[in-house]
Amino acid sequence: MSQSNGTDNGALFVVGAGRGVGAAVARRFGRDARPVGLIARNRERLDGMTRQLGEDGITAAAAVADVRDVDAVRFAVDALERRLGTAEVLCVSPLPDVATIKPVVDTTAEDLREALELGVLGTAAAVGRVLPAMRATGRGTMLFTTGSAALTPRPDLDPMKPEETLRNGRVQGLRPGRMRRDEREDTGRRDAARSAREAAVS
């Protein structure tokens, strides 16, 4: 797919692009002559961010989507790919609604659903869209933001925890090498050998 910046660098897509982490990551990767695609809900803010990036000499485009809507995420990623080329870097950084982050005892099923939709389902939709090209080229970087509750469980930040545990498990599975077929086959062979040894001594 053609690159509008005249380089071979694949694009950066930021899902949940805001003025904090998203804008900083966009500037940093944009400096490497990567086109930048931004996804969030607020069209006005996105237009301001793409304008600013353009003034800094970075090719940028935006697509509106609510990360909780998996079809909208897929549609937005596809739209950005058509404009900017394939994503070589993905950053997922939507800020959760702080109203849903409550102590464990006050957390409702709806709060958990909201956290899962934002932090797991939307993320999975974005990853699913960019991963095939990354695997085909053997090149790709994914960045996921998280809150401190992912590392240190806190009873006052409950909805973050299950969402982050689930997402972190998926992220670990995406680490380089983990996806390689030959590695999975090696693991399968090791498991079979261990089972055979255990059967022999029992």
Residues 129-188 within binding reach of ligand NAP (CB under 6 A): 145, 147
Residues 105-134 within binding reach of ligand NAP (CB under 6 A): 118
35 vs 144, which CB is nearer to ligand NAP?
144
Q: Give the nearest distance from C-beta 195 to ligand NAP in angstroms.
A: 42
> Which of 156, 161, 123 has the alpha carbon at shortest distance from 15?
123
Segment contacting ligand NAP by CB under 6 A, of 37-45, 76-84, 128-136, 185-193 = 37-45
Q: Give the nearest distance from C-beta 34 to ligand NAP in angstroms.
A: 19
Q: Choose, by CB under 6 A, the member of 19, 28, 135, 180 that binds ligand NAP.
A: 19
Q: Which residue is nearest to ligand NAP (CB)?
A: 18
* Distance from C-alpha of 172 to C-alpha of 178, rounded to nearest angstrom: 8
Would you count residue 37 as binding ligand NAP (CB under 6 A)? no
* C-alpha pair distances (Å), 20 with each of 2, 17, 48, 62, 102: 29, 8, 14, 16, 23
Segment contacting ligand NAP by CB under 6 A, of 5-13, 64-72, 127-135, 181-189 = 64-72
Backbone angles phi, psi at 201, to 5 degrees: -95, -5
Q: Three-state SS string across 2-66, please?
A: CCCCCCCCCEEEEECCCCCHHHHHHHHHHCCCCCEEEEECCHHHHHHHHHHHHHCCCCEEEEECC
Q: Choose, by CB under 6 A, the member of 66, 79, 143, 162 that binds ligand NAP.
A: 66
Would you count residue 10 as binding ligand NAP (CB under 6 A)? no
- Greatest Cα pair distance in the chain: 71
H-run or E-run covering 92: strand 87-92
Bridge partner residues of 61 (DSSP): 37
Q: Residue numbers of the site for ligand NAP (CB under 6 A)?
A: 16, 18-22, 40-42, 45, 66-68, 93-95, 118, 145, 147
